[in-house]
Amino acid sequence: MIVASLVSLLLLSSSGKASLHRAKLSKTNRTELDPEREALHIASKYGAFSGTKRTFRVGPHVVVREDDNLYWTQDGQEVLKGGHKVPLTNYANAQYYTEIQIGTPGQTFKVILDTGSSNLWVPSTKCDSIACLLHAKYDSSASSTYKANGSDIEIAYAGSGNVTGIVSRDTVVIGDMKIPGQDFAEAMKLPGLAYAFGKFDGMLGLAYKSISVNHVTPPFYNMVDKKMVDSPIFSFRLGSSEEDPGEVVFGGIDASHYKGSLTYVPLRRLAFWEVKLQGIKLGDDVVELEDTGAVIDTSTSLIVAPFEIAELINSQIGAKRQWNGQYTVPCEARSTLPDFTMSVRGTEFVLTGMEYILKLGETCISAFTPVNLNVPGGDLWVLGDIFLRKYFTVYDFNKNAVGFAESI
């Protein structure tokens, strides 16, 4: 989760029948970009800091897959229909969130749906941090379905500090789905300005593996266990305007969200929504990559690449690093910049200069953010909203794969 992504820059009761659940997004104008804070959160999310070195650590059971033959498309297959649609709100193309309710009667919170984490947390009325004072807070005394747990919980985010609190249990409503007895974290402390000025109140994790602190089962796992969805999948379409912000579909795929066929790529590392990245191309310059993965992350704003490669790309497109960590290019150059192409299992995903350069007022900023995430088995990229606004994605627990198609 990238809580600070562009921060300064600015389902109801279940009928018992599984279906598809959607959510919309909306958009407002941007103000400022903070790529250095973005990089700190990325480094924290997918690893840890050791002294001054950025390192990445995973548990002992992570498996790296090298079965390149596991690759297929949706051609000739029935697209899963129905499901539960949940609307998203798009704030400045930087924060995509939706509203959920916790408790009885429901208390409303804006949460980021994050494919890079597993935790569900919202601020508590017991929190006196500045960030909590500026956001909606959960009041357990006002809910007739609240059950105490009381376990302490601490979620570490480098760059902004730790979210600390207690585990509680209550009814959670996402779209048209009601999940009784859902464990979540009541945040007692939210450090830093990232949370204070974020438009969201909390986070709802959708990671591939449950890496939630204190073994708290994430909401989507409960949706599947309670058979609220027809299939253990969800799909994202991120919009790029307030009028068309996008939506999430739980338990199905809306074929009107993309064109052509879905291409499914198996997960490389059975820990995150990570696929194998074979190579990149900038214009006519090609770089073949070995032992490299790309994590698909709905809460990251930019594209994170190994330091040397990101520096090289920025140099090639004429981006200059500014005092605040931004890599800027003259705005008039955007339309003349070469296409950037990523090769994933034989499929090429292309971003134009107009797509990988962000225009923020009179400033144009490169999306390529340098961070070294030294993972077992090779390098790691993180593909965030810059990529996801162009490419529709499906997250399939049965296939252990991510599906891709161009969004419409």
**Residues with catalytic annotation?**
114, 297
Cis peptide before 105 (omega within 30 of 0): yes
CA dihedral 176, 179, 184, 186 (to 10 degrees): 60
Give the three-class secondary structure for 7.
coil
Buried b (16+ CB within 10 A) or exposed e, 198-212: bbbbbbbbbbbbebb
What's the rounded Cα separation, in Å, for the pair 127 and 189? 6
DSSP letter, residue 311: H
Give the H or E element holding residue 102. Answer: strand 95-102
Enter the tokens of residue 22.
């959607």
Other Cβ atoms closer than 10 A to 336: 10
Buried b (16+ CB within 10 A) or exposed e, 353-375: bebbbbebeebbbbbbbbbbbeb
Other Cβ atoms closer than 10 A to 94: 29
Residues 206, 113: contact at Cβ < 8 Å? yes
